[in-house]
Structure 1
Amino acid sequence: MGKQRQNWTAAPWDDREELEVAMVIPETTDTATIAFRAPSGAWFDYQPGQFLTLDLPVPGGPLSRTYTISSSPSRPLSISITVKAQPGSIGTRWMLDHLKPGMRIKAHGPAGQFSFMRHPAKKYLFISAGSGITPMMSMTTWAWDSGEMPDIAFVHAARKPADIIFRSRLEQFAARVPGLQLRFTVEEVDPFEVWSGFRGRLSQIMLGLMAPDYLEREVFCCGPEPFMRAVREMLGALGYDMARYHEESFAAPALIEVPVEAAPQVGLAELVFQASGTSISSDGGETVLAAARRAGLNIPSSCNFGLCGTCKVQKLSGEVAMVHNGGISDEEIAAGMILACCSRPQGPVTLDL
C-alpha cells in the first residue's frame, strides 16, 4: 500500500492520459466489469450516471464505443464500465475476449447529462433492463457511500435471475439500508430454482405493486429502446408528470425534430482546421465530422446523432447549424463548442483542430 500511495496525485484524471486495465471481473454470461486506473495515479471525478467513450483497437481500425460508468465517483481511485456482448457486437466482444490487466486504452469523457445529481429529489424510482442497470448501480453506490438514508425504489427487468447484473451487491446494500427497495422481474425461471420475485414483462399493475408512490418519485430509466418506450407509455397513461422522467440511451431516437430555423442552408462553405493547418470546401449540406474525415482528420465519434458528446470540438469563428440530442450543454455552446456529427457549416468556419 505504501508504494501505491507514493504514486497517487492530487490531480483529477483527464482524457489526455490513457486508462490502464486493472481488473476484469465476470458478472453474468457474456458480461464483465472492467476496472481501469490512471497510470499517473490521478483520481476520477465525474457524476454518477455519466459515460465514457473508448477507442478500441479492433482488427480493421480503431472503433469508438460508448459505455455507461458502473462505478461511483465516491470511490475515485478507479473507474469501471460493465459491458454485455449482444449478438453481432464487435467492440464489446473484442473487450471481453482480449482486455487483460496492464493493457491501455484511449478514452474520452466522462460525459453525459443522465445523473440524479442534476435532478435533486427526496425520492427516486430507478427503472432498468439488461445492461441498463449500470448507471443505476453508479447512482445507488453514490447514495450508499454518501452516508445519508436514500429513498430509492429500484426496479429491474431481466430475462432470468442469472442475468441480473450486480444482484448480490445490490442485495447487500438493501439488507443494510431500508430506504433501498429492490424489485426484480424476470421473464423465465430455470427449472428447480426458487424465485420469489415478480415474473413477466413490466406492466402498469406490476409497477403499482413495486412502487405504489411512483407519482411522488423522480424517475430514471435505462435499457433497450423498446423497453424505455414501454415505460414512457406506461407512466404517461398513469398520469405521471413526464417532466420528471429522465432516460439514457445510445440508440438513435425514432424521430429527430429539426427546427425550421436550424435547417442547414446549402451553399459553399470553407472549413479551416487551424491546429492542423488544413482547410476544405463544403457544400454546407454535410456535417463538420464528414468534412473533417474528407480532409484526412480524425475526430473521435461514437453515436453520430448528437447524444454521446464524443465529437465535441471548439469552434473559433463562423456559424453552424447544430441539431443535437443532448450531447452538449448550453454552457458549452455559449463557449463556442459544437458537436461535429450534427453541425453543418453556414459559411466560413474555423475550428481548433
Structure 2
Amino acid sequence: MNSLNRITSAIWQDDELLECVSVVPETPHTASFTFRAPSGALFAYQPGQFLTLEIPASGQPGGVVHRTYTISSSPSRPRSITVTAKAQADSIGTRWMLDHLKPGMQIKAMGPAGLFTNANSSARKFLLISAGSGITPMMSMTTCMWDEGRDLDIVFINCAKRPSEIIFQQRLEQMASRAPHLDLKFVVDEPDIYRPWTGYQGQFNQLMLGLMAPDYLEREVYCCGPEAFMQAVRDALSGLGFDMDHYYQESFGAPVQKEADQPELYDVVPDDTTSAEILFATSGVIAKVAETDTVLAAARSVGLNIPSGCTFGVCGTCKVKKTTGDVHMVHNGGISDDDIEAGYILACCSNPIGKVEIEV
C-alpha cells in the first residue's frame, strides 16, 4: 500500500521520457498518441495546455525537430496523457509520428505549458469554436468539465473540410447523448462523395453564429484554429456587439507560454466618432460619413443607387470594385476569395476606413 501511494503521488516531470502506449487513427493523416510515465507518475496540467515533443528528423540540425501539440486528453484522467496530431503536406515531425511512433517507444517531451485554458473561469456558459485540429483543446476542456460532473452549458462548434475530417465526432456525440446542454454544431466546406451531409456547409459566419448560439452574448468564447479563421470569428463577434473581454484564443502557429508573450490583437472596429470619405469615382460624388456607415448607406445618402438584396453579405448583389483605400468587410459568404483579391467588396457589409475610392 505504501509503495502504491508513493507511486501515484508523484507528478511527472519533463526530465523523464514518455512511453507511447497507444496510437489511434482519428481522421485522414490524423492520430491520437497516448503516453504514460514509465515511473508511474501522474500528469498534472490544465485543459487547453500543450506539450512540446522532441522528434527524430534526419537532415535537421541535431537530428531532431521540436513540435508543440495541444493535449487532447483531460487532467481529470491523470494516469496518461494524449496529443492528437494532424500531418500537413509539409509536415516533418507529425509525419514521422504517424509513420514511425509505435506503442513501447519512448520520446522526450517538455511541458505542459500554455495559457489557453478555462480552468480558472467562473463562467457558466461556454462557446467553443474551432477549425480542424484546433478542436483538441476544446476536447480537453469539455472532457474535464464532463468528468467533474459540472452542469454543462456548452455550444461546441467545429469547422472541417469534410465530414470525414471532423476529429472526435463520435466521442463528442456520445457525450452529448448524455448531456442535454452540450450542443454540437459541425460546419464543413463540402460533403464527402456519395455521403449526403445535412448539417451546416460553407464558411463560418455571423448568420451561422446567430443560429447556432442565439445567446452568444451571454457566453465565454474560446477559439482555436488557423489565424484567418480566428480573425473571421473575432470580426463576426465584434460586429455583433460581443464583449471581447470574454474572448480567448489559441493559435496553430505558436502557443503562448507566458503572459508577457501574449500577442496584441489589433482588430479593426469601426468607430462612429471617426470620419471617413468615399469617392464614388464613376459618378464624381464624395460622401463624408462615419466609419460605422456602410458603403451602401453612404451611397444612398448622396443619391446613388447600388443594387442590393439581403443587406447582410449573403446574396452578393451589392458587389462593387474598390480601387483605393481600405474597408472593413464582414460578409456571410456572398463574395469569393478571388473577388476579394481582385479588389471587390460587398457594399452592404463594408465600412470605410479613411479615404476610399469605389467604382460607382
For normalisation by structure 2, the TM-score amounts to 0.69
Name whichever of 187-196 and 46-55 sits farther off: 187-196
Structure 2 CA distance, aligned partners of 1:226 and 1:27? 25
Deviation at 1:58, TM superposition (A): 1.3
Residues 239-276 of structure 1, C-alpha deviation per residue, up to 9 Å, x if partnerless?
Answer: 1001110000142xxxxxxxxxxxxxxxxxxxxxxxxx
Looking at structure 1, the residues matched to 260 and 28 of structure 2 have their Cα atoms a distance apart, in angstroms, of 38
Is it true that 1:120 corresponds to 2:119 in the alignment? no
CA distance, structure 2, for counterparts of residue 229 and residue 147 of structure 1: 33
Q: 1:65-122, CA deviations, whole angstroms, 9 ceiling, x for partnerless residues?
A: 1100000001110000000001101111111111011111111110111111132201
134, 159, 162: which one pairs with 1:160? Answer: 162
Q: Which residue of the partner structure matches residue 132 of structure 1?
A: 134
Question: Aligned letter for 2:47?
Answer: P
Offset at residue 6 of structure 1 (A): 9.2
Q: Corresponding residue for 1:224?
A: 226
Give the whole-Å Cα distance in 1 for the aligned partners of 2:87 and 2:98: 8
Q: 1:171 & 1:163 partners in 2: Cα distance?
A: 15
Query: What SS is found at the alignment partner of 1:116?
Result: coil
Rounded Cα–Cα distance in structure 2 between residues aligned with 1:23 and 1:31: 14
Q: Which residue of 2 aligns with 1:26?
A: 25
Contact 2:115 2:256 in 1 (8 A): no
Q: 1 CA distance for matches of 2:33 and 2:4?
A: 22
- Aligned residues, how many? 259
- Matched residues in 2 for 1:8 and 1:28: separation? 35
8 Å CA contact 2:225–2:252 kept in 1: the answer is no
Larger Rg: 2
Distance, in Å, in 2 between the alignment partners of 1:191 and 1:101 is 34
- Decide whether the 8 Å contact of 1:250 with 1:308 is kept in 2: no
Is contact 1:51–1:112 with CA below 8 Å preserved after alignment?
yes
What does the per-residue CA deviation read over 1:159-205, in whole Å, with 9 as the maximum and x for residues that have no partner? 11000000000000000000100001111112332322111110100
Match of 1:300 in 2: none
The aligned counterpart of 2:144 is: 142
| 3-state secondary structure, aligned to 2:119 | helix
Which letter maps to 1:144?
Answer: W
The one of 254, 257, 262 aligned to 1:325: 262
Which of residues 83, 86, 91 in structure 1 aligns to 2:85?
Answer: 83
Q: Which runs of at least 4 in structure 1 moved beyond 2 Å after TM superposition? A: 4-9, 322-326
Q: Which residue of 2 aligns with 1:182?
A: 184
Partner of 2:249: 247
The question of whether the paired residues in 2 share the 8 Å contact of 1:66 and 1:308 is answered with no
> Match for residue 17 of structure 1?
16
- C-alpha contact (below 8 Å) 1:8/1:41 kept by paired residues: yes
Structure 1 residue 102 corresponds to structure 2 residue 101: no
2: CA distance, partners of 1:11 / 1:215: 42
1:236 aligns with 2:238: yes
**1:71 matched residue in structure 2:** 73
Unaligned stretches of 5+ residues in structure 2:
264-360
Corresponding letter in the other structure for 2:262: N
CA RMSD of aligned residues (A): 2.0
- Contact 1:37 / 1:77 at 8 angstroms: preserved in 2? yes
Instruction: Determine the structure 2 residue equivalent to 1:266.
Output: none
Give yes or no for contact 1:74–1:142 (8 Å, CA) kept in 2: yes
SS, match of residue 19 in structure 2: strand
Aligned-residue sequence identity (percent) comes to 59
The aligned amino acid for 2:52 is T
TM-score by length of 1: 0.70
Where does structure 1 lack aligned partners over 5 or more consecutive residues? 252-302, 313-321, 327-353
Partner of 1:118: helix, strand, or coil? coil
* Contact 2:54-2:108 at 8 Å conserved across structures: yes
